[in-house]
A and B are shown apart, each in its own frame.
Chain A
């Protein structure tokens, strides 16, 4: 009796070990930015349909920074990033011996939006945006006519993403001139739908977020054309103006970073190739702007040659073209 019990428990333990020790499945692990997520999700969905589930793909949302943390610990194969890898993240990766290929996959256009009832703002200059958003404006610039005397004496309500977002980093860099330098007295939310709701409710509201959220809500919001510099014409955000480079400085490329060691695994390589092949259609389907065809070709060559490193020196740049970026020497 006692003996048989022992045997049963030993058998159960054996089963447990046998179960856990089974060979690893083919799996591609992805994490990173919520901005890149819709594109990656679309690619992952199509990829799994195409492979009939032979290769598993998982996508998480940890944000650009959170994604790089996991990436540099070697926990994931790919990470999505709405800004280039930063100096301290490069250091973390180097220390862990993680090398990577940087691939731009799409453009995102930060869109400045106002309430449709706003009838005074036909276009806005970068200087005016700076006047509204710079840290010094906190508590001081609270009415429209304080920015431009031609505008009415109406309360200015501001909406924007929170400080953890790559969108926030890029906007502050492009408008104020220094990343993360912004006034703090605005309604901040990581959930862009909250921002959309806020701007629709208030005639004096102004907000900014990614183009996809504007495109889905273009009936409820009005996008404001941006004047890049004095004397230049105002440009409204649209797939065309982003592609031809005239919507500046608020359009930016978004990236995926691929672990070089993972790229040797056939399933990861296959996924990345699939990503770059399908990107033109899928990027447009999720309301982002596709890169020029040539850029995807260059990116594919980079994957084939395993060109390592980032084209940036560990900090964001405003207004860099993707082709130029792909020509640059990679830094690790």
Chain B
């Protein structure tokens, strides 16, 4: 035995260790770049916008005087549009996902549909805006309303919801399905009693990620004709007279946070830049809050499942 092989081995191991360390550092830098840029942007926005983040900012309408201008119509608009989006995208997306994963026969037709759903997720949002302008605004006569905007964004996030639903369903082990069948369950019972509840965490995460994408969308909303200056709120959904419920708000004109922000950044007065920054903070916090909710729900639901 000569000592050479051991020395060679040592060298080899040292080299591998070096590479390991190099990659750890590269990976860390890659992570930090993303995080620090976001953090830097957020801090800058927060510092710039801080003087405007008063309660009045949330309860005032836009105005030509920067100090008096607020985001009341914008955040209410964003919220209502999101409500319509959620109410239409969740049932449609989840049903489509469940059908594709649990019911649809595996043949070339479903394969084509699957590929197209994936592709739809990558279609630029302005395309959805143009489609919606023709379809919802003019063909169906919904006009430039909250309903049109909500449905447009629902279309936009539908592929995300479908894909997330399918991923979540696929994560449920096959033996659960077989066990349900073995006990005489129909397919619908198997799906509704077992598979969907178990995958609810994953589905919800997908839905909320979809919604947080939708809340920041500007292009399709501008295309269908959201307004820039609007100093009134939509009709309240609950009224004092019979029949006590009103759906008039669906047909009301509206504006949303990203549009309000965009309008403020293009103003000549410097003071409006502060408003834009403050509105940006609100939008970011709304998105982050939605994502936090997704994480929390997933955690809650996962904890309940006992296999």
What 0/1 readout, one digit per residue, does chain A (15-56) give for beta carbons within 8 Å of chain B? 110111010010101000010011011101100100001001
Q: Taking the complex as formed, is B196 at the interface, i.e. its CB lies under 8 A from any CB of chain A? A: no
Q: Roughly how many angstroms separate A213 CA and B270 CA in the complex, as a whole number?
A: 10
Contact across chains for A44 and B250 when beta carbons are under 8 A apart: no
Q: Taking the complex as formed, is A192 at the interface, i.e. its CB lies under 8 A from any CB of chain B? A: yes
Q: Taking the complex as formed, is A315 at the interface, i.e. its CB lies under 8 A from any CB of chain B? A: no
Give chain B residues whose Cβ lies under 8 Å from the Cβ of A286.
64
Q: Roughly how many angstroms separate A20 CA and B248 CA in the complex, as a whole number?
A: 5
Q: In the complex, what residue of chain B is closest to A214 when comparing beta carbons?
A: B268
Contact across chains for A193 and B266 when beta carbons are under 8 A apart: yes
Q: Roughly how many angstroms separate A221 CA and B16 CA in the complex, as a whole number?
A: 59
User: Given A58-B227, A58-B253, A192-B266, is A48 in contact with B64 using a C-beta cutoff of 8 Å?
Assistant: no
Give chain A residues whose Cβ lies under 8 Å from the Cβ of B250.
20
In chain B, positions 193-229 with a C-beta closer than 8 Å to chain A are 225-229
Contact across chains for A217 and B64 when beta carbons are under 8 A apart: no
Q: In the complex, what residue of chain B is closest to A189 when comparing beta carbons?
A: B266
Q: In the complex, what residue of chain A is closest to B270 when comparing beta carbons?
A: A216
In chain B, positions 247-282 with a C-beta closer than 8 Å to chain A are 247-248, 250-251, 253, 263, 265-270
Contact across chains for A19 and B270 when beta carbons are under 8 A apart: no
Q: Taking the complex as formed, is A78 at the interface, i.e. its CB lies under 8 A from any CB of chain B? A: no
Contact across chains for A19 and B266 when beta carbons are under 8 A apart: no
Number of A-B contacts (CB under 8 A): 80
Q: Taking the complex as formed, is B231 at the interface, i.e. its CB lies under 8 A from any CB of chain A? A: yes
Other-chain residue from A16, A25, A45, A213 in contact with B268 (beta carbon distance below 8 A): A213
User: Given A15-B243, A41-B64, is A58 in contact with B268 using a C-beta cutoff of 8 Å?
Assistant: no
Q: Give the Cβ gap from A21 to chain B, nearest Cβ, in Å.
A: 9
Contact across chains for B64 and A193 when beta carbons are under 8 A apart: no
Q: In the complex, what residue of chain B is closest to A213 when comparing beta carbons?
A: B268
User: Given A15-B243, A20-B251, is A60 in contact with B268 using a C-beta cutoff of 8 Å?
Assistant: no
Q: Taking the complex as formed, is A126 at the interface, i.e. its CB lies under 8 A from any CB of chain B? A: no
User: Given A20-B248, A193-B268, is A48 in contact with B231 using a C-beta cutoff of 8 Å?
Assistant: yes
Q: Roughly how many angstroms separate A20 CA and B63 CA in the complex, as a whole number?
A: 30
Q: Roughly how many angstroms separate A59 CA and B230 CA in the complex, as a whole number?
A: 7
Q: Give the Cβ gap from B178 to chain A, nearest Cβ, in Å.
A: 33
Range, interface on chain A:
35 or more
In chain A, positions 198-214 with a C-beta closer than 8 Å to chain B are 212-213
Q: Taking the complex as formed, is B188 at the interface, i.e. its CB lies under 8 A from any CB of chain A? A: no
Range, interface on chain B:
20 to 34
Q: In the complex, what residue of chain B is closest to A193 when comparing beta carbons?
A: B266
Q: Roughly how many angstroms separate A215 CA and B230 CA in the complex, as a whole number?
A: 26
Contact across chains for A57 and B270 when beta carbons are under 8 A apart: no
Contact across chains for B229 and A59 when beta carbons are under 8 A apart: yes
Give chain B residues whose Cβ lies under 8 Å from the Cβ of A14.
243
Other-chain residue from A16, A56, A60, A192 in contact with B232 (beta carbon distance below 8 A): A56
Q: Give the Cβ gap from A155 to chain B, nearest Cβ, in Å.
A: 27
Interface centre among B225, B229, B246, by most chain A C-beta atoms within 10 angstroms, is: B229
Contact across chains for B266 and A191 when beta carbons are under 8 A apart: yes
Q: Roughly how many angstroms separate A287 CA and B267 CA in the complex, as a whole number?
A: 12
User: Given A212-B268, A215-B268, A216-B269, is A45 in contact with B247 using a C-beta cutoff of 8 Å?
Assistant: no
Other-chain residue from B225, B228, B247, B266 in contact with A20 (beta carbon distance below 8 A): B247
Give chain B residues whose Cβ lies under 8 Å from the Cβ of A19.
243, 245-248
Q: Roughly how many angstroms separate A196 CA and B62 CA in the complex, as a whole number?
A: 24
Contact across chains for A45 and B243 when beta carbons are under 8 A apart: no
User: Given A22-B248, A58-B229, is A287 in contact with B268 using a C-beta cutoff of 8 Å?
Assistant: yes
Q: Roughly how many angstroms separate A25 CA and B249 CA in the complex, as a whole number?
A: 11
What 0/1 readout, one digit per residue, does chain B (58-78) give for beta carbons within 8 Å of chain A? 000111100000000000000
Interface centre among A56, A60, A62, by most chain B C-beta atoms within 10 angstroms, is: A60
Contact across chains for B228 and A18 when beta carbons are under 8 A apart: no
Contact across chains for B263 and A61 when beta carbons are under 8 A apart: yes
User: Given A18-B243, A19-B245, is A45 in contact with B231 using a C-beta cutoff of 8 Å?
Assistant: yes
Contact across chains for A22 and B246 when beta carbons are under 8 A apart: yes
Contact across chains for A216 and B268 when beta carbons are under 8 A apart: yes
Give chain A residues whose Cβ lies under 8 Å from the Cβ of B227.
58-60
Q: Taking the complex as formed, is A285 at the interface, i.e. its CB lies under 8 A from any CB of chain B? A: yes
Other-chain residue from A34, A41, A60 in contact with B225 (beta carbon distance below 8 A): A60
Q: Roughly how many angstroms separate A193 CA and B270 CA in the complex, as a whole number?
A: 10
Counting from the closest, the 9 A-B pairs by CB-CB distance are: A19-B247, A59-B229, A216-B268, A60-B227, A213-B268, A42-B64, A19-B246, A58-B227, A41-B229
A-B contact list, 13 entries, CB within 8 Å: A22-B248, A25-B235, A37-B228, A42-B64, A44-B231, A48-B231, A57-B229, A58-B227, A58-B253, A59-B228, A61-B263, A190-B266, A193-B266
Using CB atoms and an 8 Å cutoff, list the residues of chain B in contact with chain A.
Answer: 61-64, 225-232, 235, 243, 245-248, 250-251, 253, 263, 265-270
Using CB atoms and an 8 Å cutoff, list the residues of chain A in contact with chain B.
Answer: 14-16, 18-20, 22, 25, 27, 29, 34, 37-38, 40-42, 44-45, 48, 53, 56-62, 190-193, 196, 212-213, 215-217, 285-287
